Structure 1
Amino acid sequence: MTLAESDANGDNAAASSGSQLDRLLALAAEREPVRTAVVHPCDAVSLTGALEAARMRLIEPILVGPAEKIKAAAAAADEDLTGIPLVAVEHSHAAAAEACRMARAGEVGAIMKGSLHTDELLGAAVDGASGLRTDRRMSHVFILDVPTYPRPIFLSDAAINIAPDLATKKDIVQNAIDCAHALGVAEPRVAVLAAVETVHPNMSATLDAAALSKMAERGQIVGGLVDGPLAFDNAISPEAAATKKITSPVAGRADVLIAPNIEAGNMLAKQLAYLAGAQSAGIVMGARVPIMLTSRADGRLSRLASCAAALLVARHERIKPSR
């Protein structure tokens, strides 16, 4: 069952029907693995995560980093690197730069974070001269499987853009829509979140949300249904939307949640994880290739699902018609 088929089953779908992330892995299994630069995999967690994804044919890893440190991590994890390409560089900064060069040259179709700081990898990716910039701002998309919700939730941006202005939010919305398309959601419903569902002149989040909704109506954002401002409750609860008498194709059934800023997005993602038992995958969109920002705190399923998401995005971008 694809994510789109899961959504078509309606609001009565239950968590017992299986994890959305498991279905994501099943969808990725139908594609060829994507050649991936694994940046500075110098500890057992990051290295074994990449190698397990390779064994599941989600990625074809190229390890980029200090050769001796990578080999030491392999020995500590009892992993065999025979047949795995290794590009030796001096340190983590060089590894990030080399991975970006490989992506620009078309040698890899995705990048996976190893045991370096996120800022190091993203710093190389956003470099104006040698990075992976496109005409879009880069943004992070969480793909969340919440046991009490009948469909996956795509949440953005909770990791990169701190206080996005309207132009940046436009790219955040379009990136999230494109991610949802790649993962099988044909026409994602996008809720632009604020504290209230009415436009208030003193609350900039509501003004931005209303503008984004109108931009989608005028074709400046394409591929999804965008509405806002919506408060979190009436974005995901049909009962809350009905109580507030909100008439909207998005309210109560959102696929995509757009946070007003990084604090709101980050807290929402962590609340869903720690209080609602959500599992998550995550990738960076808007670069030349998808970037997996896996963390040492991520569980096995989250790491593999992030690889699956990157694979699906990479394959989707190859065949997506130009706009």
Structure 2
Amino acid sequence: MKSFDDVLNRARNLDKKIIAVAKAENLEVLEAVEAARKLGISDAILVGEKVKILPLMEEAGLKEEDYEFFDVEGMQEAAMEAVKLVSSGKADMLMKGLVDTGTLLKEVLNKEYGLRKSPVLSHVAVFEVDTYHKLLVVTDAAMNIAPNVDQKIAIIENAIIVDKALGKDLSKVAILAASEKVNEKMPATVEAEKILNTGIRGAILGGPFALDNAISKESARIKGLTSPVAGDADILLAPDIEAGNILYKSLGFLAKS
């Protein structure tokens, strides 16, 4: 898929999903679930204090009768009930509202609910960048601080699941660093080489790559890189959370992606 319009068109042809919104007392969140509802993609269960949600719904132009409510006070209680809705099958997916990330993750990781399927939870973002020829998946910008090789492999596997949902049968994964050459003084390059030697099902791996060589065929050509991933990456794996977060926010704020 090359754009979010492609994603929306694909989603319209799938069964409608139910979203459990944890602590739904947030205007932007309500506007987002309403947009999805109008597109016929999803419905939402709004978990939180109904007395606080209703004025925001009125401000956003939402109708009370279009939504189901789970009236509960408190941040932890809202997070718990939203997770339980997904765990029980009453909802298909979880959405973060006005709840702290740590509070929500604590409930997600609760073994009682059985939501955790991967050995490593990771952050995955999808960008539509005007200067790139397809959707770009970036990981991990928010959860794993300094992942080791095994954790990076799990992070890649999680990102492949997302990329597959975007229509890819085989994902081109660029393992990012500051240089294309393996250098013992630059751990990210050494770890990239180890990941390449391991291999991952469902992926073509490339790296280490500086960012330009992962997304620009011209830059890759100048450097003499012949990997099929060079200049055509589907997934960018950041070496650590600092690099991932900077890349994520640069795309969001500077590139307006």
Q: Indicate the residue corresponding to 2:79 in structure 1.
A: 96
Q: Indicate the residue corresponding to 2:229 in structure 1.
A: 250
The TM-score normalised by the length of structure 1 is 0.75
Q: Indicate the residue corresponding to 1:123 in structure 2.
A: 106
Q: 2:197 aligns with which of 214, 217, 231?
A: 214
Per-residue displacement from partner, 1:159-178 (whole Å, max 9, x unpaired)?
Answer: 21121121211111011111
The amino acid across from 2:215 in the alignment is: I
Q: 2:255 aligns with which of 253, 267, 276?
A: 276
Secondary structure in structure 1 of the residue aligned to 2:77: helix
Question: Is the 8 Å Cα contact of residues 124 and 131 (structure 1) preserved in structure 2?
Answer: no
Per-residue displacement from partner, 1:57-107 (whole Å, max 9, x unpaired)?
Answer: 221211111221222322333421114211111212111111111222222
Q: Indicate the residue corresponding to 1:282 in structure 2.
A: none
Q: 2:203 aligns with which of 224, 230, 254?
A: 224
Q: Indicate the residue corresponding to 2:115 in structure 1.
A: 132
Percent of paired sites with the same residue: 37
Q: Distance in 1 between matches of 2:52 and 2:145?
A: 33
Per-residue displacement from partner, 1:238-263 (whole Å, max 9, x unpaired)?
Answer: 12212222221111211110000111
Worse overlay, 226-235 or 117-126: 117-126
Q: Distance in 1 between matches of 2:117 and 2:148?
A: 18
Secondary structure in structure 2 of the residue aligned to 1:143: strand
Q: Indicate the residue corresponding to 1:264 in structure 2.
A: 243
Q: 1:154 to 1:135 in 2, by over 3 A?
A: closer
Q: Indicate the residue corresponding to 2:17 in structure 1.
A: 34
Q: Distance in 1 between matches of 2:32 and 2:46?
A: 12
Q: 1:78 to 1:276 in 2, by over 3 A?
A: closer
Secondary structure in structure 2 of the residue aligned to 1:140: coil
Secondary structure in structure 2 of the residue aligned to 1:228: strand
Secondary structure in structure 1 of the residue aligned to 2:145: coil
How far off its partner does 1:121 sit?
A: 1.6
**Root mean square deviation, CA, Å:** 1.6
Secondary structure in structure 1 of the residue aligned to 2:175: strand
Q: Indicate the residue corresponding to 2:182 in structure 1.
A: 199
How far off its partner does 1:38 sit?
A: 1.1
The amino acid across from 1:245 in the alignment is: G
Q: Distance in 1 between matches of 2:253 and 2:183?
A: 32
Per-residue displacement from partner, 1:185-222 (whole Å, max 9, x unpaired)?
Answer: 22111000001111111221112111111221xxxx21
Q: 1:131 to 1:76 in 2, by over 3 A?
A: farther
Per-residue displacement from partner, 1:270-295 (whole Å, max 9, x unpaired)?
Answer: 222333332xxxxxxxxxxxxxxxxx
How far off its partner does 1:232 sit?
A: 0.8
Q: Indicate the residue corresponding to 1:159 in structure 2.
A: 142
Q: 2:167 aligns with which of 174, 178, 184?
A: 184
The TM-score normalised by the length of structure 2 is 0.94
Count of residue pairs brought into register by the alignment: 257
How far off its partner does 1:131 sit?
A: 6.0
Alignment map for 1:52-63 (pairs within 5 Å): 52-63=35-46
Q: 1:172 to 1:64 in 2, by over 3 A?
A: same
Q: Distance in 2 between matches of 1:77 and 1:229?
A: 46
Where structure 1 has 5 or more consecutive residues not aligned to the other structure, the ranges are 7-19, 279-323
Task: State the structure with bigger RCO (CA 8 A, min sep 6), 1 or 2.
Answer: 1
Worse overlay, 78-87 or 228-237: 78-87
